[in-house]
Structure 1
Amino acid sequence: MTKILNLTVIVFTIICFTSCSQTKKDDTPWQLLIKGDTLDGWNIKGGNATYVVEDGVVTGTTVKNTPNTFLTTNTYYDDFILELDFLVDPSMNSGIQIRSNSFPYYRDGIVHGYQIEIDPSKRAWSAGIYDEKRRKWLNPLTDNPEAQKAFKQNEWNHYRVEAIGDTIKTWINNVPAAYLIDDKTASGFIGLQVHSIHGDKKEGTTISWKNVKILTENLDKYSQKSPLKPIITKNQLTIDEKKQGWKMLWDGETTNGWRGAKLDAFPEQGWEIKDGELIVLSSGGAESAAGGDIVTEELYGDFELQVDFKLTAGANSGIKYYVDTNLNKGPGSSIGLEYQILDDALHPDAKLGSHEGSRTVCSLYDLIQANPEKPMNAIGEWNSAYIISKNKHVEHWLNGMKVLEYERGSEAFLKLVSESKYDKWPGFGLLEKGQILLQDHGDRVAFKNIKIKSL
């Protein structure tokens, strides 16, 4: 009997040794973001929720009547693979911020950017992608029941997040959850959220994170494929934009809904559609001398308008609104109020104008200068223009910051017009409805994500 037992032990030992030796060792060069009992390399933004760390486990605790609170990395990350574990109270809502930012000009420094949702509610959208304090839901788990089932209530859950280029992919407990293609933000900090609580919500509930690690090099080697169909946001409405009544003003593929400002059809030259971008081509810098301006076929009264634009060095263009193409049949551009698009550093127009600075980027062309502290991205990068006109009150925004506002038809407005190049056009800027125009000023400028909401 003893010999048999000894033989069994030997065989068992050999099996264990063989099995262990065949287990693939994880040689991924992870970097730990939380080590031991210190939060060195992290800082708190937003509200007054508390964070403590013990043995590499960070625990956040809710505090009533304070905004969302974020424990954020001091380091900014662009492309990376992130893994972590979390344990959340079933009554809470939370998330992992990635490529997020806090700028003084954007809503007084509020944290904004991509959030990998933590959602223990019955909705079960954990590992979906939310755009915190911007566009809201980008990739919910509405059509992914397997990922919804993967969340473990009152247990540790594991996330994997890949953010490479314009693509973000997530997994929850090794189940593919979200797959988003979106190029809104390329870089930012990582943050651990404790959501705000109010009313009868219980104070003192907690969420914990551990094994927070990141990979920033050789990502192609370690990236995993996702079987999911990606959600692509380029030239598409988000979930909340659809609910709010926004419409695509350009479909990203055709010339439908647009024509030449002085033509019955879209220009045959001077413009191109490529890779989801509507591009006015370079033709020497002359105003409306090549393909010419393009305008919407529809007229708009009160509206909200969003347009992403990208300049080349020294370029000039514009977004005009309340345009009447019948006003100017001669040379030059059609007449309307203009959100100026310009390379302020290289184009001479930046130093011209009837009013100082009124031809710089985002300004109301030739009338009102935009805030000089405007957050303009570098030439060759995308910028987001936003214009709202309601009850004659108009605002210009750039990349989330309001840069000017005025009242159409006010005494101050009429005075500015009388002192400008527009004084020869009776009733300038006072139309109840007009067309939206993208300007051909002979320089290469690209547009995308053109959206409008009638008010």
Structure 2
Amino acid sequence: MKNLFLSILLLFCVASLSAQNWEPLFNGKNLKGWQKLNGKAEYKVVGDAIVGIPKMGSSNTFLATTKNYGDFILEFDFKVDNELNSGVQFRSESKKEYQNGRVHGYQFEIDPSSRAWSGGIYDEARRNWIYPLTQNPSAKTAFKNNEWNRARIEAFGNSIRIWINGVPCANIWDNMTPTGFIALQVHSINNASFENKCVSWKNIRICTENVASYLTPETNEAPEINLIVNTLSSREAKDGWALLWDGKTSNGWKGAKLSTFPAKGWIMENGILKVMKSGGAESANGGDIVTTRKYKNFILKVDFKITEGANSGVKYFVNPDLNKGDGSAIGCEFQILDDEKHPDAKLGVKGNRKLGSLYDLIPAPENKPFNKGEFNTATIIVKGNHVEHWLNGVKLIEYTRNNEMWNALVAYSKYKNWPDFGNLAEGNILLQDHGNEVWFSNIKIKELK
């Protein structure tokens, strides 16, 4: 019995020593340790909660911790009235030299609308949406309207993961801001009746000691998005992703009508692959570039940035031998275009030459998540004859090839004279030179069985 008692006591002592050390960020009485930034919304303590109340005419308002945090586990309860939008900033900053002190950085989204993106990650005043819940639609039901919800944020090194009510919601790999403050957001409003609504937080606590010991084991429930340019995270490598461009050299690429990489028209600098401006003609300067090998079933991701008035594209199922004359190599195309400034947007049928469309065949929706002047992510998914185009995590179109409907669609397009267009079992992947400057980066592929 004595030995048993000593064993139990030892286990108790070990458990006590290894117990997670939580620090409360809100004392339940006042706003000591917090400061208001940017807008004019009101924050006050009601009972055991911090309550944020919007104000007409105010910009986004933030109640920020006076301390910064790097690696941590943050937990809090939150409740929001319908029709409001809110969030919790973390690893965020407010610097005079950045938009005159505007708060910017990672935001845990609180979204009671029908869109239901609570638990996604928005990059406030910087890159906009970096993890919309289109990336993880099963998590849209985690948030409960008109109820208290429990949030958990784990930020450790480059890994940031989010849960609501125990459900994995978001998962990114990023290194843009390794440390910063935590802040409660009251969003701006455009309706005076919303001044009667509020958002509340309570039980806010943080763990900053021995964080690695308390991280949640990795699962595949929330797909990871890697935002560090031209790299693979350990999880991506494990999942079978490969860099299609290494960020430095022309390895794996050549001219579509050449045996080597073009000697002009393309440059590589600072992790960006640029096709240079040359007058707007198709493949008339450096020419298109293609992968040196072919691909069959895959998920392809390409980050691109459009200069004003530019035209380009990402093609797949390309046969470089099909067109040896003037113009671009032939293949299915994810159109890259400045819809506002390039005349091609007004050609074709029902907008099927606009950004994200299957060029000259299937139009992308007019309302699409395009970030003007910033990098955007094009994703092309090919599973046999089923193909999808995505832009910044939102699916734009899907179609099936190698059938009568597809062949009829091709017959009424500019590709009607190219034999068996779009029906190849495999093909090269192409980046288009259309005589306008367009930037590419973070090009990666996952081959599917």
Distance 1:408 1:376 in 2: 27
Q: Does 1:453 align with 2:439?
A: no
Instruction: Describe the shift of the 1:432–1:72 C-alpha distance in structure 2 as closer, same or farther (beyond 3 A).
Output: same
In structure 2, the CA distance between the partners of 1:62 and 1:310, relative to structure 1 (3 Å rule), is closer
**Is 1:168 matched with 2:161?**
no
Counterpart residue type for residue 52 of structure 2? D
Take 2:52 and 2:302, find their aligned partners in 1: how far apart are those partners?
A: 40
Code of the residue aligned with 1:443 in structure 2: it is: N
State the distance in 2 between where 1:103 and 1:358 align.
32
Structure 1 position 448, deviation (Å): 0.6
1:359 aligned onto 2:367:
no
Match of residue 411, structure 1, among 394, 398, 404 = 404
Is residue 86–residue 110 contact of structure 2 (8 Å, CA) maintained in 1? no
> Where does structure 1 lack aligned partners over 5 or more consecutive residues?
1-27, 43-57, 64-70, 83-96, 120-124, 140-165, 173-187, 192-205, 212-230
- Per-residue CA deviations over 1:242-293 (Å, capped at 9, x if unaligned) read 2211111000111110000001111010010111000000001010000000
Q: TM-score, normalised by structure 1?
A: 0.60
Q: Aligned runs of 1:200-219 on 2, under 5 Å?
A: 208-209=203-204
Query: 2:159 matched to which residue of 1?
Result: 129
Distance 1:345 1:128, change over 3 A: closer
Residue 436 in structure 1 maps to residue 429 in structure 2: yes
Whole-Å Cα distance in 2 between the matches of residues 290 and 59 of structure 1? 55
Stretches of structure 2 that go unaligned for 5 or more consecutive residues are: 1-32, 55-73, 96-104, 123-130, 132-150, 163-167, 187-200, 207-225
Match of 2:236 in 1: 241
Identify which of 85, 93, 99 aligns with 2:107.
99
Which residue matches 1:111?
119
CA distance in 2, matches of 1:72, 1:131: 21
Alpha-carbon distance change, 312 to 100 in structure 1, aligned in 2, over 3 angstroms: farther
The equivalent position to 2:36 in structure 1, one of 31, 45, 69, is 31
1:445/1:59 CA distance change after superposition, 3 Å = closer
Superposed CA RMSD: 3.9
1:187-266 equivalence runs, <5 A:
208-209=203-204, 233-266=228-261
Please report how far the alpha carbon of residue 410 of structure 1 lies from its aligned counterpart in structure 2 after TM superposition.
2.3
Over 3 Å counting, the alpha-carbon distance change for 1:309 and 1:426 in structure 2 is same
Q: Is the 8 A contact 1:342 1:350 kept in 2?
A: yes
Cα distance in 2 for residues equivalent to 1:386 and 1:36 = 45
Structure 1 runs (4+) greater than 4 angstroms displaced: 58-63, 74-79, 100-108, 114-119, 125-128, 131-135, 188-191
Q: CA, structure 1 residues 309+128, in 2 after alignment: closer, same or farther (shift >3 Å)?
A: closer
Give the whole-Å Cα distance in 2 for the aligned partners of 1:448 and 1:386: 13
Larger Rg: 1
Equivalent residue runs for 1:259-408 within 5 Å? 259-353=254-348, 355-378=349-372, 380-408=373-401
| Inter-partner Cα distance in structure 2 for 1:452 and 1:167 | 23
Change (3 A) 1:279 1:135: farther
Q: Say if 1:322 and 1:431, in contact at 8 Å, map to a contact too.
A: yes
CA contact (8 A) 2:353 2:359 kept: yes
Q: Aligned partners of 2:152 and 2:430: how far apart in 1?
A: 39
Shift in Å, 1:351 = 1.0
C-alpha distance in structure 1 between counterparts of 2:157 and 2:257, whole Å: 50
Q: Structure 1: how far apart are the matches of 2:359 and 2:390? A: 14
Once residues 424 and 430 of structure 2 are traced to their aligned partners in structure 1, the CA distance between those partners, rounded to angstroms, is 15
Distance 1:358 1:296 in 2: 26
Letter in 2 for 1:401: V
| Pairwise CA distance, 1:99 | 2.9
Distance change in 2, residues 1:134/1:413 (3 Å): farther
Q: How does 1:46-61 map to 2 (within 5 A)?
A: 60=76
**8 Å contact kept, 1:386–1:396:** yes
Q: How many residues align?
A: 312
The 1:104–1:287 alpha-carbon spacing in structure 2 relative to 1, beyond 3 Å, is farther
Q: Indicate if the aligned counterparts of 1:387 and 1:394 stay in contact, CA closer than 8 A.
A: yes
Q: What is the DSSP-based 3-state SS (H/G/I as helix, E as strand, rest coil) of the residue aligned with 2:245?
A: coil
Aligned to 1:149: none
State how far apart, in whole Å, the 1-side matches of 2:204 and 2:235 are: 30
TM-aligned CA deviation for residue 98 of structure 1: 2.8
Q: Distance in 2 between matches of 1:439 and 1:105?
A: 39
What residue identity is the alignment partner of 1:346? K
Within 1, Cα distance between the matches of 2:153 and 2:316? 42
Cα distance, 1:328–1:103 mapped onto 2, change above 3 Å: farther
> Distance in 1 between the 2:202 and 2:318 partners?
54
In structure 2, the CA distance between the partners of 1:287 and 1:134, relative to structure 1 (3 Å rule), is farther
Structure 2 counterpart of 1:40:
52
